[in-house]
């Protein structure tokens, strides 16, 4: 960097680029952050709308249950009579009226409190926590606790705190019961706010509250950190959604939903700092991406400016060397297609022509020797490995360890086949490579691993690509093999029918989880290269699909008892067209 910063024209360019890149980076960061926050606010509003809709549905369901129950009372005279008896000022008077109006041959008496519990409290699943029957002056209460056990209170004044209507207690639904001499009698059903709004806790909201027409606020949930003043301010605004500036560092987004059937409004708020905390990882990732992009662009600028400065410096140095009669050329440079490159190229060409015979001969000899040494090294390395394996095998035979000698010989044979240049072989040759690998694994896990190959002869001459069966077996040893299990089995089957050759690779190892199996199937069915952890399976699928085109398919599934089954199907029609020399 110091090279071009010493040159004035490049120094001014560099600082101009730095300022421009910073401005672009800050603008992109602000825009992307705003998009993320705006999307988060939109998601929060959708969650609030879903919570409000669910709450309204629950309230409507409870109202429908109450209407249905009132129809039950109106249509059942015995139940209506017992409800009228329940208007008595004391429980003793209520029980006396019931006995007085019963006969010995009457069917079991209908009890209004028991009927309410059975057909209303249980129907509403605990939403309706209090039912009261009122005359003009007093009311009698059936109050249910959290376990659904009723508690009775008789002779309470209609002004009693028990009958106070507020958001904390719940919503009161009134229905006319009958007409008395002194006025109408009615039934009041109280729907619990805590029960109705408990569903809101299942949604991803910031803070939520319900406010009635009188301005009373009910904070929903256990988090009571939201200020009632913020709720009142949100309700006072004409817009159903917007922003409240609590302070310039922490604006609050709100959304309100007025109930069309009940006298309350649903309010949801969420602070900007909460959104930032929820999406901190995304925002940090965006910041890192933008910072990385800015750094890359700045490095590219530095690289270009440095190269230009080097060309200018090279031209100056070349002129100085010519002036001193030093015709030995510099190290060859990578020229740019600009004026500096043209000048530097012409100067270097002039120097090269003055001394080209000596320089060219010297360089050609060095390059030729280097190439010959590399070629010789590539020939020596494989032979050295084969010879070393043969020495180890001979030593094992001398020590009467035939099993180890066979394993070493198998490994050497497998390595020889792997490094051969041909890429298209027969299925029979591919099976031989697979069997060498399985023998090595059988040696590695004695008395714990067994394999079986059952292949029809007609499949052995079918052309295929090299080295695709071994990754399927290797997949079993990585994901399905159990060292503690006494019997790990890997089976290869091959058969044919009228139109297809079929190969199956079956093991008795560990199942693949259904979610993971669906993901693998989606990856294998994709026609585009994608990032995945199942690199081996995807590579096998991609290579076979490229070779056999539409005449190939692969399926993977769990066995009924244990392990995994991978099925490969190859069309006979496509194998007749596939030849080794043109693939």
Domains of the chain by residue range: 76-196, 425-577
Phi-psi group of 325: left, alpha or beta (phi > 0 → left; psi -120 to 50 → alpha; rest → beta): left
Q: How far is CA 325 from the centre of its chain?
A: 69
The shares of helix, strand and coil residues in the chain, as percent rounded to the nearest 5, are: 55, 20, 25
Helix, strand, or coil (residue 324): coil
Outline where DSSP puts E strands in 355-414.
Answer: none
Torsion of CA 251, 257, 258, 264, to 10 degrees: -70
Q: Helices 8-75 and 77-85, interaxial angle, to 10°?
A: 100
Please say whether the structural domain 425-577 has been given the CATH code 3.10.20.30.
no
Q: Backbone phi, then psi, for 415, in 5-degree steps? A: -65, -40
Q: Considering only CA atoms, which of 473, 465, 487 is closest in space to residue 440? A: 473
Cα separation, 345 vs 351, whole angstroms: 10
Helix, strand, or coil (residue 492): strand
CA–CA distances in Å: residue 124 to residues 140, 343, 446, 519: 21, 91, 66, 42
In a structure prediction context, what are the per-residue pLDDT tens digits for the chain, which is 583 residues long?
556 666 667 777 778 888 888 899 889 888 988 888 888 888 888 888 888 888 888 888 888 888 998 999 989 888 888 888 898 889 899 888 888 877 655 566 788 888 888 888 777 777 888 899 998 889 999 988 878 788 899 989 988 888 888 777 888 888 888 887 677 889 999 888 888 888 777 776 678 888 887 788 888 866 656 677 788 888 878 788 888 887 666 788 888 888 887 888 888 888 887 878 777 888 888 889 888 988 888 888 887 777 777 777 777 777 777 677 666 656 655 656 666 667 777 777 776 666 655 455 554 455 444 444 444 344 434 544 555 555 555 655 666 666 666 666 666 666 666 655 467 889 998 898 888 888 888 888 888 899 999 999 999 999 988 888 988 988 888 888 888 888 899 999 999 988 899 999 999 989 989 888 888 888 877 755 555 555 678 888 888 887 887 888 999 999 988 899 999 999 988 877 665 444 4
Cα separation, 308 vs 314, whole angstroms: 10
Cα separation, 572 vs 492, whole angstroms: 20
CA–CA distances in Å: residue 480 to residues 311, 448, 472, 563: 60, 13, 11, 7
Longest Cα separation, the chain: 139
Q: Helices 339-398 and 402-419, interaxial angle, to 10°?
A: 160
CB-CB neighbours of 494 under 10 Å: 21
């Amino acid at each position: 960097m110091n090279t071009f910063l010493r040159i004035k024209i490049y120094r001014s360019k560099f600082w101009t680029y730095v300022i421009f890149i910073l401005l672009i980076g800050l603008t992109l960061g602000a825009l992307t952050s705003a998009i993320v926050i705006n999307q988060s606010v939109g998601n929060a509003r959708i969650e609030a709308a879903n919570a409000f809709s669910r709450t309204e549905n629950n309230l409507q369901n409870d109202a429908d249950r109450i209407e249905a129950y009132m129809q039950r009372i109106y249509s059942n005279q015995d139940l209506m009579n017992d409800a009228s008896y329940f208007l008595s000022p004391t429980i003793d008077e209520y029980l006396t009226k019931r006995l007085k109006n019963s006969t010995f041959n009457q069917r079991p008496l209908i009890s209004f409190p028991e009927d309410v519990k059975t057909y209303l409290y249980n129907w509403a699943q605990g939403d309706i926590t209090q039912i009261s029957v009122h005359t003009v002056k007093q009311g009698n209460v059936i109050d249910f606790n959290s376990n659904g056990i009723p508690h009775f209170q008789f002779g309470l004044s209609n002004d009693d705190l028990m009958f106070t209507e507020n958001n904390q207690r719940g919503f009161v639904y009134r229905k006319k019961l009958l007409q008395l001499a002194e006025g109408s009698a009615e039934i009041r059903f109280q729907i619990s706010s805590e029960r109705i709004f408990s569903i809101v806790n299942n949604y991803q909201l910031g803070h939520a509250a319900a406010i009635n027409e009188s301005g009373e606020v009910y904070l929903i949930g256990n988090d009571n950190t939201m200020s009632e003043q913020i709720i009142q301010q949100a309700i006072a605004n004409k817009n159903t959604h917007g922003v409240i500036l609590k302070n310039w560092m922490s604006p609050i987004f709100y959304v309100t939903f007025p109930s069309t059937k009940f006298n309350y409004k649903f309010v949801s708020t969420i602070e900007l700092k909460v959104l930032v905390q929820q999406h901190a990882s995304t925002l940090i990732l965006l910041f890192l991406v933008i910072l990385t992009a800015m750094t890359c662009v700045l490095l590219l600028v530095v690289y270009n400016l440095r190269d230009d400065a080097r060309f200018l410096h090279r031209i100056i140095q070349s002129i100085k060397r010519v002036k001193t009669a030093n015709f030995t050329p510099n190290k060859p440079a990578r020229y740019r297609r600009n004026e500096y490159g043209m000048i530097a190229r012409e100067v270097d060409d002039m120097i090269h022509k003055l001394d080209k015979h000596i320089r060219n001969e010297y360089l050609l000899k060095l390059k030729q020797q280097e190439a010959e040494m590399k070629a010789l090294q590539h020939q020596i390395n494989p032979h050295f490995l084969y010879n070393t394996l043969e020495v180890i095998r001979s030593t094992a035979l001398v020590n009467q360890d035939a099993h180890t000698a066979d394993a070493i010989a198998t490994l050497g044979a497998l390595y020889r086949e792997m490094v051969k240049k041909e890429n298209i072989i027969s299925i029979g040759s591919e099976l031989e490579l697979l069997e060498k690998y399985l023998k090595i694994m059988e040696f590695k896990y004695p008395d714990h691993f067994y394999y079986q190959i059952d292949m029809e002869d007609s499949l052995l001459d079918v052309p295929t690509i090299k080295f695709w069966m071994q990754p399927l077996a290797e997949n079993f040893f990585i994901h399905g093999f159990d060292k503690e299990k006494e019997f790990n089995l890997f089976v290869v089957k091959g058969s044919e029918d009228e139109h297809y050759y079929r190969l199956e690779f079956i093991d008795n190892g560990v199942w693949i989880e259904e979610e993971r199996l669906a993901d693998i199937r989606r990856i294998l069915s994709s026609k585009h290269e994608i990032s995945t952890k199942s690199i081996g399976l995807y590579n096998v699928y991609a290579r076979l699909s490229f070779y056999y085109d539409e005449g190939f398919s692969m399926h993977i599934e769990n066995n009924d008892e244990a392990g995994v089954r991978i099925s490969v199907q190859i069309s006979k029609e496509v194998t007749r067209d596939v030849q080794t020399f043109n693939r």
